[in-house]
Amino acid sequence: MPAKKTKIKKTPASPVESAGIRTKGKEKMLSIWFFVGLMLTVIGVIVTGTGINYIFHPQNATRLAELNPNLWWGVIILVAGFLFLVPAWKQHNKQS
C-alpha cells in the first residue's frame, strides 16, 4: 500500500499576509520613532502657530505673558519632533 501524502499548510510570514492582503516584493515598515516624530512635529506646528497668533492678537495678559511660552515650547516640541522624524526617515530609506 502506498504511503499517504499529507498536504503541508504554509503559514503566513507577516500579519499583512495573514489578513489576506497580497504584497509585491519585500515589505518596508516604518519605525515607531517615525510616528512619534510625526506626532511631535504636528503638535509643535500647532503650538508654535498659537504662539505666533498671540504675538499679533494678545489675549488677557497673565503675569508672564510677555515671555510668550507658547512660542518657545512650540519651537522646542518642533525641534524634538524633527530629531525623531529625520533619522527614522533616513533609516527607512536606507533599507530600501
Helix extents (H) in 1-96: 15-18, 32-56, 69-95
CA distance 75 to 45: 8
- Provide the domain count of the chain: 1
Asked whether residue 23 carries a pLDDT value surpassing 80, the answer given is no
Flag whether 90 is in a domain.
Answer: yes
**Residues spanned by the domain of 61:** 28-95
| Residue 68 falls inside a structural domain | yes
Q: Please state, in angstroms and rounded to a whole number, the distance separating the CA atoms of residues 90 and 84.
A: 11
Q: Between these two residues, 9 and 42, which has the higher pLDDT value?
A: 42
* pLDDT band (50, 70, 90) for residue 95: confident
Cα–Cα distance between 9 and 7 in angstroms, integer? 6
Q: Is 22 among the domain residues?
A: no
What's this model's pTM, rounded to 2 decimal places? 0.67
Q: Is residue 77 very low, low, confident or very high in pLDDT (cuts 50, 70, 90)?
A: very high
Q: Would you say residue 16 lies in a domain?
A: no
Report whether 34 contacts 83 (CB < 8 A).
Answer: no
The cell 533609516 sits on which residue?
91
